[in-house]
Structure 1
């Protein structure tokens, strides 16, 4: 069997690697000039296997008015004359219900734990280098209300098999002294010792390098797919500038590029870009205390992750801002908020980045056989959890493509 995968980000490369482990011939088509050069390039870096609570949450209704009225808000919204935007927002608000969040959390934990186990297996067997850290994760709270909600969420996830600890302020500082600057503003934190971090770009490159000498693997860069070529209901090939590329099965794993591709077939996938930003600061020669543990500053919605000799700082959700430009005001806000916590960091030396997280309203990715055409599959919509869920999503898709049973109940993620 020959499978053509559209997209060479962390989702596409994980799918390709999993299929090659099963002996399937793979061709990966990438519109850009490098592997993982877009959404996967400089994301937050946290592998949040035990913290997969969706963005859609009942608390959104309380926070939304405050966020929309502040220029330095972690969430910014620009209304557009876009049916896609308003469809997505309507479904997002419908997902902000307690019963939906509980069900989604349980389903996502099942997928994330599968993904964790596969990534660990690949590490052990293939010695993949991607600045991986087993350093745990702290979700830090400055206000009592959100901290109490986090306690309740931790209990909910504990009932689902997650192991997390609720820490008071003094315990947090004992574990991570670099947070001393918060002072009396620190309420406490949720600590997950088993959480990890890693560079999704380096991971994707490592997978490619493991396969590049394999005669049944081919990567074609600078090869955007123009359209699908159909034969009856089935997809027979994809059209590129170089001509048609034929295969037995086709997987769309191209992030936000998934939407226009499926739209050609009459589909309207509920995937919308949530724009985010990051700073990557080299740590060599830096004496300023930086966190040894991955940290999420909950109220500011900033994540800090040490990736080898780099500190990655990622933040913000901008809805209605589709370009990859980096607005000066948003980057200035991010730097100011980072300086509030780590005032001596030389952020002028940091590499800046913007990316579009392809998110569904519920937070659950779309993984499985497309209903739009035969021989067509989708692996997209992972939002901010692309790296966390990549290996598990690849396992589900590869199982179905090779006629095996899915390793978990994948019904919640099917198109």
Structure 2
């Protein structure tokens, strides 16, 4: 059987790897010159397996007015004459309730734990150098009230298998001395010792190099798709902009936001919207930086040491231009990072921005598309693409093979 996987970000490459190891002939197609050129390129670097609560939660609505009005908000919203944006935002607000968030958290935890096991298996069998570290994670809070609210999420996740601790300010500083200069602004933290970090682009490119050594795998970079040609309810072939046709028995869309127009041309509407995120990457061998991954909860900023690089990622932009990096947003990230880590020199930091393909409810879409019998989806992972990639691809591989999946696939079943 021959599968054509569209998209060479972390989702597409792990999907191609999963299918190849199960014996499929695989063609991996992407418009870019190298893997991980889009949303996978410079993300936050956290493998946050035990903290996968969806963005749509009950705490969003009370904060929404202040977030929308404040220039220093972690959320920036630009209203567009775009029914897709309006529809997505309405569905997002409908998902902002405790019942939906709790159910989604449980479903994402099952997928994330599967993902952790698959990634560990990869590293055991064919290790990839991507600055992988099992260094734990701290979610730091600046107000006691928010720390108290976080206890409910800790209790929920404890019932689902997570092992997390609530730390006082002094315990937090003892655990991560690099945060000592900001001691007076911190109320405490949640510490999860089992969390990990790594460079998503290096992982994706390393796995792609393994694919290139497999005889049944063909890599097709710099291949832009014009359309998926459907005939009698099945995708017959993929047509490129140069007029070339790529035929396969099964097709997988794993192209992030690039999946939406391809599905729209087939008459189905994918509930995806791009959430723009920003990051800084800087050398950290000379500065005292956190050895543990850190999330500044109120500011929605993450810090991860990736080998000799410190990655700082932040912000959500809805309705922002897909290209370019807004200077004021990067300036805000730098200012807030300097407040938390005044000892770090941000001068050489390299800025990046990317579009995270998100569903309104926070669950990725994994399974057969309604558009064609032989079209499969692995899309919509939002900010959790790196964390969920290996598990999502394992789940999809089981479904495509007709095998019993390791977890319940129903919550991730596409409706498009």
Calculate the TM-score normalised by the size of structure 2: 0.98
Q: Shift in Å at residue 213 of structure 1?
A: 2.1
Q: Shift in Å at residue 144 of structure 1?
A: 1.9
Residue of structure 2 in register with 1:257 after alignment? 258
CA distance in 1, matches of 2:111, 2:133: 21
Q: Shift in Å at residue 212 of structure 1?
A: 0.8
Residue of structure 2 in register with 1:246 after alignment? 247
CA contact (8 A) 2:182 2:341 kept: no
For the residue of structure 1 that corresponds to 2:229, the secondary structure is: strand
For the residue of structure 2 that corresponds to 1:226, the secondary structure is: strand
Matched, 1:217 2:217: yes
CA contact (8 A) 1:67 1:73 kept: yes
Q: Shift in Å at residue 118 of structure 1?
A: 0.5
Root-mean-square deviation over aligned CA pairs? 0.9
Give the 5 Å matches for 1:8-47: 8-47=8-47
For the residue of structure 2 that corresponds to 1:354, the secondary structure is: strand
Matched, 1:91 2:100: no
CA distance in 2, matches of 1:112, 1:159: 15
CA distance in 1, matches of 2:347, 2:253: 38
Q: Shift in Å at residue 149 of structure 1?
A: 1.4
- Post-superposition Cα deviations, 1:21-63, rounded to whole Å, max 9, x if no partner, equal 1011110110112111110000000000000001101111111
Matched, 1:149 2:138: no
Following TM superposition, the consecutive aligned residue runs of length 4 or more in structure 1 with deviations greater than 6 angstroms are: none
CA contact (8 A) 1:322 1:356 kept: no
CA contact (8 A) 1:270 1:361 kept: yes
- Post-superposition Cα deviations, 1:65-112, rounded to whole Å, max 9, x if no partner, equal 111111111000001111110110111011101010110010000000
Residue of structure 2 in register with 1:378 after alignment? 377
CA distance in 2, matches of 1:196, 1:324: 30
Matched, 1:311 2:310: yes
Q: Shift in Å at residue 262 of structure 1?
A: 0.5
Q: Shift in Å at residue 324 of structure 1?
A: 2.5
Residue of structure 2 in register with 1:389 after alignment? 388
Unaligned runs of 5+ in 1: none
Q: Shift in Å at residue 281 of structure 1?
A: 0.6
Residue of structure 2 in register with 1:354 after alignment? 353
Residue of structure 2 in register with 1:180 after alignment? 180
Residue of structure 2 in register with 1:327 after alignment? 326
Calculate the TM-score normalised by the size of structure 1: 0.98
Q: Shift in Å at residue 296 of structure 1?
A: 0.2
Unaligned runs of 5+ in 2: none
Residue of structure 1 in register with 2:404 after alignment? 405
CA contact (8 A) 2:226 2:240 kept: yes
CA distance in 2, matches of 1:271, 1:144: 35
Q: Shift in Å at residue 182 of structure 1?
A: 1.9
Residue of structure 1 in register with 2:362 after alignment? 363
- Post-superposition Cα deviations, 1:302-360, rounded to whole Å, max 9, x if no partner, equal 10001111000000000001413101111111111111111232212011100000000
Q: Shift in Å at residue 184 of structure 1?
A: 2.3
CA distance in 2, matches of 1:387, 1:349: 25
Residue of structure 1 in register with 2:274 after alignment? 273
CA contact (8 A) 1:273 1:356 kept: yes
Q: Shift in Å at residue 146 of structure 1?
A: 1.6
Give the 5 Å matches for 1:127-206: 127-206=127-206
Residue of structure 1 in register with 2:7 after alignment? 7
Residue of structure 2 in register with 1:289 after alignment? 288
Residue of structure 1 in register with 2:413 after alignment? 414
CA contact (8 A) 2:225 2:238 kept: yes
Q: Shift in Å at residue 240 of structure 1?
A: 0.3
For the residue of structure 1 that corresponds to 2:402, the secondary structure is: coil
CA distance in 2, matches of 1:325, 1:72: 19
- Higher mean Cα deviation, 45-54 or 234-243? 234-243
CA contact (8 A) 1:274 1:318 kept: yes
For the residue of structure 2 that corresponds to 1:209, the secondary structure is: helix
Q: Shift in Å at residue 185 of structure 1?
A: 1.7
CA distance in 2, matches of 1:63, 1:240: 45
